[in-house]
Amino acid sequence: MKKFVVIGAGSFGYYVAKALFEAKNEVIAIDRNKERVQAVEPHCTSAIVADMTDAEMLKSFGLEEMDAVIVSTGANIKPSILICFHLQRMGVKRIIAKAEDDDHGQILEQLGASEIIRPGKDMAKRLAMRLTQPNILEFLPLQEDYTIAQIDPPRSFIGQPLKDLDLRKRYEINIIAVKELVPERFLMVPGADFVVKDSDILVIIGRTADIEKIKELK
């Protein structure tokens, strides 16, 4: 079981805490607003009313022992800046902070945040991907324009063994797994003789531009 602290129980913090708790993790949610704490309390291990911009208050929670601290303190950027500054000085190993915009995110990175979340921007990218690439069911952006995506196989793939498709040479992508629906199973790194079926979902990795080419195939 992993341990997380979510600082800020507004809309984003509430759902992060709830999702982590439902995934069987230990979750402490903290907010200065009593009503928010009461709302999130049924969905976490413990919920606490506290002002986490206070360095001494932060130190009292032993946050250095947590797997991650998620900072989500709302539109006012000053609290998140103070909190990230204090967390970094305390030696918290993983700080995930919600930023209101790119400038805010850069400031938080300079103050020690190891990961920056921009919910509006990230959701906009996901929506754009879904609308422009309808055959991509899910994607995970990686560094340097690489993406892991789940796609329905193009019609030209169906009935073909992977060795004949030669996707690495022709499209510079790799199939790293297949979700078979008939029969239902998950196949990691399918072999060269695996024959693609119309009921399969292909999990592929490659550059975003190359994955877009797959989308255009018939």
| pLDDT tens profile 93-111 | 899 999 988 899 899 999 9
Q: Give the containing element (helix H, strand E) for 209.
A: helix 208-215
Conformational region of residue 26, where left means phi above 0, alpha means psi within -120 to 50, and beta covers everything else: beta
Rounded Cα gap, residues 6 and 59, in angstroms: 15
**For residue 213, which amino acid is it?**
K
Domains, the chain, ordered by start = 3-117 (3.40.50.720), 122-215 (3.30.70.1450)
pLDDT digits (tens, 9 = 90+) for 4-40: 999 999 888 998 899 899 888 999 999 999 999 999 9
Are 175 and 162 contacting, i.e. CB atoms less than 8 angstroms apart?
yes
- Give CA torsion, residues 147, 207, 199, 131, to 10 deg: 70
Distance CA 16, CA 21 (A): 9
Radius of gyration, CA atoms only, the chain: 22
Residue 131 half-sphere exposure, CB side, CA atoms within 13 Å?
Answer: 6
If 0-12 CB within 10 Å is exposed, 13-18 middle and 19+ buried, where does residue 177 land? middle
State pLDDT tens for residues 100-145.
888 998 999 999 898 888 877 776 666 666 666 655 555 555 655 7
Degrees to nearest 5, angle at CA 147 with 143 and 148: 125
